[in-house]
Structure 1
Amino acid sequence: MRLSVVICTYNRGKYLPLVLDSLKKQQYPFSSFEILLVNNNSTDQTDKIIQEYQQANPTLPLTYITEYNQGISYARNRGVTESTGDIIVFIDDDETVESNFLQNVDDFFTRYPDAGISAGPVIPVYESQKPQWLSHYTMRLVTGAYQKGNQIKLLPPKDYPGTGHACFRKALFLKYGAFDTSLGRKGNSLMGAEDKDFFLRLMHGGEKCYYLPSAKIYHHIPDNKLTNEHFKKLTYALGRSERIRTLNLGKSAFYKRLLMEVVKWGASIILYLWFLLTGRISKGYKLLVFRWQVGKGLLRE
């Protein structure tokens, strides 16, 4: 098997036919890839939706798995363990891909034998409309937007991507270990940092991560992810996640992260003033909320 597509899901059953339809339409032979859909204890209609989808699409190489340990890291690790492909392709349960996606991924890893990781652009698709308060500085956190140009290029550690739009040679999981199960979302929590921890381990180990512009992913953004309440919870969880991640590395890493937060506060205040002077008050205000909530998460034990 060449490619193993791993999709982890929790209570997003209504989106799953969209991502599966985009995989069903691939210009790539079914015999060369498998889909592992890992249900992480969903309480919605996911089971029924997938059973009906499998009955309607019996030729799609789809394996349905339940992972009972709660957490995105557990689910991703289970998908990797059950996979048989040389390349692990992660796609989130609220994303869709173009029909040439898998072929482009396969071609890339064939042409770049030194590549351990690839990551493509993420294009937000809004359920209604893009809110005015979104700016370049909050876009990626809220929508996952990721764009590094139109050319294949090597990514430095500071530009690490997210797991939901990345592909890995499976051998890397044997060499570096799995996703840290103390990090990442569990159920309805918005915790994270499992991506950052894993990517930095690989990239600091000398593994090459390339940006692949032809592997586009469309991230579907519902309105409930664009509310003030969600933004505050998300940014607070970012701070909590960074606290756990850095303390796992040692107190010096945590204090270094706190120092970085002070620098980011300074930059955010300057940006706020710039937004204020240019009449974009909502964008500037959201930056200050961002930093305040992250700081609370970092400092609260």
Structure 2
Amino acid sequence: MRSRQPNQPLVARPGEFAHRPNPKQMKLDVIIPTYNRSYLLKRTLDSLLAARLPEGLSVRVTAVDNNSKDDTRQVVEDYIKRFGDRFNYVFEGKQGRSRALNAGIAATCGDLVGMIDDDEEIDEHWYACIHSAFSRGSIDFISGQCKPRWGAEQPAWLPKAYPAVIGWIDCGSEVRTFGEGYDGVLMGGNSVIARPMLQRVGYYSVALGRNGNRLLSVEDEDMTERLLAAGGRGLYLPEMVIYHYIPPERLTKSYHRRWCFWRAVSLGVKDRERKEPVAYLLGVPRYVYGSAARGLVRMGRAMLGQVKDPSQRFSDELALWDLAGFFYGKHFYRPAR
């Protein structure tokens, strides 16, 4: 299935295109991109069935099989047999999370598009939170907390400065407005976008997002920026909770290094099209050099025994991977189209 490329966003006043669905009946499509994780996908689908569905909201779940080699198709078809049109199966043969999301968006028609990942479970109040938010009107997109469901004990070195590596999102207990003192990201693992706004800004960039074994990312950052540039109004809702499984292999230093490097590569690719309003040196924002330099200094102090915190020591190392990845992504990496 061919994906539509993102359109150039329009500049508008905040809230100008805010979506106001019919509060008497909303239709929510929940899209789950999945690849070779049928054993986790079952838990995701079960949580979607178990959550309380408020009156006035209808839900259809679409699992997008991104060319899996396991029994993903059989798993989804079993749910379709048992629960009818509450579930839908879509196959997307071209690898890439963004391509899978776009295929799911194109295959659905509800006025709200929700997205979660195949290693997550929604909270029992997830639907109610979505219905309440969009019933109030003047909202184009929402996101919330991603709480970890640990598959192994947290290591002492787990870097507090890099919670996004394992998808741990907690921005406090207050409702916050995107772009108004809140520079958070609309995480694709726990988000809902009004379809009219999504159609206005275009689908997810296929040049970004995880692709096979390469941990490319920042498709969510790109989408957030385009939504805000188009005048969209979004909220971070702390009560909109999902639980994200953290397998033991992600609680390793090697995974953190790979994730940080490829995320920075993705930022470099994105920067080719949309630069930040900051000073640059050799095509890289100067603050990236600053973070790496400060990390390098602290690493030297750690060698002298002056930095004891293992979390801080590893964060300092990851700042160097950030710089290396951004430079490579900006000048050398060529994404598949």
TM-score (norm 1): 0.90
Deviation string 1:119-149 (CA, Å, 9 cap, x unpaired) is 1111011102112111320222x22111122
Pick which of 250-259 and 144-153 moved more.
250-259
Query: CA contact under 8 A between 1:41 and 1:68: conserved in structure 2?
Result: yes
| 2:308 alignment counterpart | 279
Task: Return the alpha-carbon distance in structure 2 between the equivalents of residues 43 and 54 of structure 1.
Answer: 20
SS class of match (1:103) = helix
| 2:69 alignment counterpart | 43
Pick which of 201-210 and 249-258 moved more.
249-258
SS class of match (1:291) = helix
| 2:172 alignment counterpart | 149
Task: Return the alpha-carbon distance in structure 1 between the equivalents of residues 267 and 139 of structure 2.
Answer: 28
Query: Cα offset for 1:14?
Result: 0.9
SS class of match (2:121) = strand
| 1:96 alignment counterpart | 121
Query: Cα offset for 1:177?
Result: 0.9
Task: Return the alpha-carbon distance in structure 2 between the equivalents of residues 296 and 3 of structure 1.
Answer: 41
Q: Map 1:1-301; keep pairs closer than 5 Å.
A: 2-28=27-53, 32-55=58-81, 57-59=82-84, 61-111=86-136, 113-140=137-164, 142-156=165-179, 158-249=183-274, 257-268=284-295, 277=306, 279-280=308-309, 282-300=310-328, 301=332
Task: Return the alpha-carbon distance in structure 2 between the equivalents of residues 257 and 85 of structure 1.
Answer: 41
Query: CA contact under 8 A between 2:73 and 2:89: conserved in structure 1?
Result: no
Query: Cα offset for 1:77?
Result: 0.9
Change (3 A) 1:60 1:221: farther
Change (3 A) 1:279 1:250: closer
SS class of match (1:6) = strand
| 2:19 alignment counterpart | none
Unaligned runs of 5+ in 1: none
Query: CA contact under 8 A between 1:235 and 1:294: conserved in structure 2?
Result: yes
Unaligned runs of 5+ in 2: 1-25, 333-337
SS class of match (2:317) = helix
Task: Return the alpha-carbon distance in structure 2 between the equivalents of residues 270 and 296 of structure 1.
Answer: 17
Task: Return the alpha-carbon distance in structure 2 between the equivalents of residues 60 and 270 of structure 1.
Answer: 58
Change (3 A) 1:267 1:89: farther
Q: How many residues align?
A: 297
Query: Cα offset for 1:29?
Result: 6.2
TM-score (norm 2): 0.81
Change (3 A) 1:246 1:19: same
SS class of match (2:198) = helix
Query: Which amino acid is the alignment partner of residue 279 of structure 1?
Result: K
Query: Cα offset for 1:99?
Result: 1.6
Query: Cα offset for 1:153?
Result: 2.4
Query: CA contact under 8 A between 1:3 and 1:106: conserved in structure 2?
Result: no
Query: Cα offset for 1:242?
Result: 1.0
SS class of match (1:68) = coil
Query: CA contact under 8 A between 1:37 and 1:64: conserved in structure 2?
Result: yes
Task: Return the alpha-carbon distance in structure 2 between the equivalents of residues 94 and 115 of structure 1.
Answer: 27
Task: Return the alpha-carbon distance in structure 2 between the equivalents of residues 108 and 29 of structure 1.
Answer: 12
Task: Return the alpha-carbon distance in structure 1 between the equivalents of residues 172 and 189 of structure 2.
Answer: 19
Runs of 4+ in 1 over 4 A off after TM superposition: 250-257, 269-274
Change (3 A) 1:102 1:251: closer
Query: Cα offset for 1:251?
Result: 9.9
Q: Percent identity?
A: 25
Task: Return the alpha-carbon distance in structure 1 between the equivalents of residues 262 and 172 of structure 2.
Answer: 30
Task: Return the alpha-carbon distance in structure 2 between the equivalents of residues 127 and 223 of structure 1.
Answer: 6
